[in-house]
Amino acid sequence: MTRLKITDLHQITVLPSLFLVAAALQIGCGAVFVIDVISEWKELSLHGIVEVLAVLGLAIGAFLALREYRTLLRRNTKVERELNVASGAFQEVIEHHFDRWGLTLAERDVALFLIKGLSIADVAVMRATRDGTIKAQSAAIYRKAGVSSRSELISVMVEELILGLGSGSTVQPR
C-alpha cells in the first residue's frame, strides 16, 4: 500500500506557491524593464531595442505561465471532482455487495480491511482479536461472496466499478 508522506504533502502545498512567486518575479522584472525602456525611449539604441524585446518576452512568458497555471488548476479541480465521484461510487458498490451477501458488521469491517490490503495480523490488531478469528471471518466473507481469495473479492468490486464507469453512467450495483 502506497502511503503519502509528510514531505509529499509539503511539496503539494509549496509548488503552487512557488509557481505564483515565479510569475510575480517575472512581472516585477518586466515592470523594471518597462520603466528602464520608458526612461531611455528618446535615445533608442540597439541596447534599448534589446530591452524592448526582453520586456515583450517577459510579458509573453508571464502571460503564458499564468494561463497554463489557470489551466492546471481547472484540470486539477476536475480530476479531484471525478476522483470523489469514483470514490463514492466504489463505496456504493462495496456497500451494495455487503448488503447482498448479508455480511455482519464485524465481517463488513474485516472485508473493508482486506480490500484495503491489510494483512490478517494487522486486521487482528485493529479489531483487537486473534488471527484465527479474522481467518474464520475471512473464510465466511469469501463463502458468502462466492469467491475463494482476497484478490477475487477485490476483482468483484473493481469489475463492477469499471463496467459502470466504462458506460459513462453512474455505477448502478447489480
Q: Please give the pLDDT value at position 1.
A: 44
CA-to-CA separations, 85 to 22, 89, 109, 157, 168, in angstroms, rounded:
34, 6, 22, 16, 12
* Single-letter code of the amino acid located at 76: N
Q: How far apart are CA 166 and CA 174, in angstroms?
A: 15
* pLDDT surpasses 50 at 170: no
Residue 57 lies in a domain: yes
Q: Please give the pLDDT value at position 15.
A: 67
Q: Kindly report whether the global pTM for this prediction surpasses the value 0.95.
A: no
- CATH number of the CATH domain containing 139: 1.10.10.10
7 with 76, same domain? Answer: yes
Residue-range definition of the domain harbouring residue 20: 1-85
User: Radius of gyration over alpha carbons of the chain, in Å?
Assistant: 28
Q: What is the 3-state secondary structure (H, E, C) of 5-37?
A: CHHHHHHHHHHHHHHHHHHHHHHHHHHHHHHHH
- Residue 73 half-sphere exposure toward CB, CA atoms < 13 A: 12
116 with 46, same domain? Answer: no
For the chain, give the mean pLDDT. 80
137 with 165, same domain? Answer: yes
8 with 77, same domain? Answer: yes
